[in-house]
Chains A and B, each alone.
Chain A
């Protein structure tokens, strides 16, 4: 078979749009809702052109009310639709936390499967784009702690399309986090056709022998750059793993890599305390403890509010810090 797959080079935000367009075309029950998602095409243009193609009954500009958007989407989802909700920024999701925590994620169990909420909440997040305060928060761990919610973070255009399609097709609520810094920072080849990437599966970004570096979102490209710098200068080589789904974690890939290397470094831009790093360490503890040659290192943001932009470069894990952590684990 030599059927040519049509491929385009897309930015991540274009791939997000492409995934929504694909699903809006395929499934009449799919809706897009949010603030400014219609005529304006979203503040990041993630929904650009969708209202023209699908109309305002399916691509819906809502009132400015996050709890209202998520709460009404629960009603829509229970009653036969598949809403894709856009939070303008993850830092604006706090008013909707109640609806996610107390209803969206509990409805299936509270009704023993009678009422279900097949809904995706998309949210741009993370520091590094000089956004005003609150806009850059990286609070994924608040959501990995909610039972009944999957948390997905792509780091490139190809994954963004496949993971978003899988999230839309998932029968349960999914929080889909889009690292703003990666929206337009690169292009990846993306097939025009529909495809999906199974949730809960991590990806090797590169392979090595001596240290496993685990990360996600915008920190993937920063980590790869730091690791390349490191490998140019030192002998050792690294596995770099993009976790892609933060709940549930891919325990098999984490175990496989750490058993091979015996050393692990976790890199995330969110505050350390109560962060996803703890869950990753727990998986390593359960699956690869006897293979460890050194304590697990972590490189994270500070336990401080994500700062306004004059200081955000200080806040984000730097190449130096990542390299330092790799050195620490190797020199133990």
Chain B
């Protein structure tokens, strides 16, 4: 299966272009945009980890190391399409237009954090594992029924492929030819359980075979491979050819969450090694250097721009008034039931000291 599903790469670890056929579409401007988007995601992630350490946000789920997989795929869809993230995919959602303010609010436990900007179809992150594959399939199926060319892009990890909903999602999408792109980030671990204990199969891509879904394996740390191959899958979906399964092989440098200690179950020196070898940002830096296009001033200017953006978001987070108690009771139903009304009134009257 490893031969059948080779890992597609466009730029290798040394920053060399290994596929000449894309050279025309590969402008330095585009590479710089990719770099900037990934740097933005990485800086935001680092900031969130720091905020958690300072106790300013709650338990946080980091993605450092997976920027190419998330940013590259998110750039392959457009406004009007649908995105279904898991809890580790804020690099994807912020690239697709989720505001940094709401991203931060999500991690301070605010409902507002799950709400995308107007016009952006981004679901709140799915916390159960693999359940979102079905929502993506259903929403994509709805677009097909409405005769549009809109698609769904759904994210999930390697552990998710053990869940029934992964298989049900692929099966439904295949049967109904739903325009959905299943984007797997195989980072090697489902919390502490390594891939080889998760599945006996050598690849995740091969699981698509059982559903007659075209499936590919790509270098998830190579943003060019991610962007180009996701774009192809999106185009397939748009033109009515149905779903695609993409396995993006990647690595999370850090822990599963800020509450997890990865040194218990894996050798963290692997992460140190990867920072100097497979890192998605380093790879583009090397490429740009080889093209004599690396520019420290440019880097400093985008770092400053991103820092400003994050600081603005942080100030917005701090400025948000406390959550209104009413939020507990609102939006459970369009019209609250009498039980909820009664509970609200009782709770509020005690808060007001009237009882």
Contact = CB atoms under 8 A, between A and B. Distances in A.
Nearest to A279: B339
A247 B135 contact: no
A208 interface: no
A6 interface: no
Interface in A105-125: 107-116
B331 A109 contact: yes
A111 B138 contact: no
Interface in B105-139: 111-112, 114-116, 123-124, 126-128, 131, 133-139
Interface string B289-321: 000000000000000000000000000000000
B145 interface: yes
A42 interface: no
Nearest to A251: B338
Contact of A74 (B135, B164, B327): B135
Interface stretch (A96-104, A267-275, A291-299): A96-104
Contacts of B123: 111, 115
Contacts of B140: 75
Contacts of B331: 108-109, 111-113
Interface stretch (B3-11, B168-176, B216-224): B168-176
Interface stretch (A9-17, A63-71, A180-188): A63-71
A60 to B, nearest CB: 8
Contacts of A116: 334
Nearest to B336: A248
Interface stretch (A76-84, A131-139, A258-266, A323-331): A76-84
A36 interface: no
B139 A75 contact: yes
Nearest to B178: A72
Contacts of B16: none
B311 to A, nearest CB: 26
Nearest to A104: B135
B349 interface: no
A71 B169 contact: yes
Contacts of A76: 138-139, 141-142, 145
B263 interface: no
A102 B145 contact: no
B43 to A, nearest CB: 27
Interface string B71-112: 000000000001000000000000000000000000000011
A95 B338 CA distance: 30
A236 B132 CA distance: 56
A80 B138 CA distance: 11
5 contacts: A75-B137, A78-B139, A111-B123, A112-B330, A172-B334
Interface of A: 57, 62-63, 65, 67-68, 70-81, 95, 98-99, 102-103, 107-116, 147-148, 150, 171-172, 200, 247-248, 251
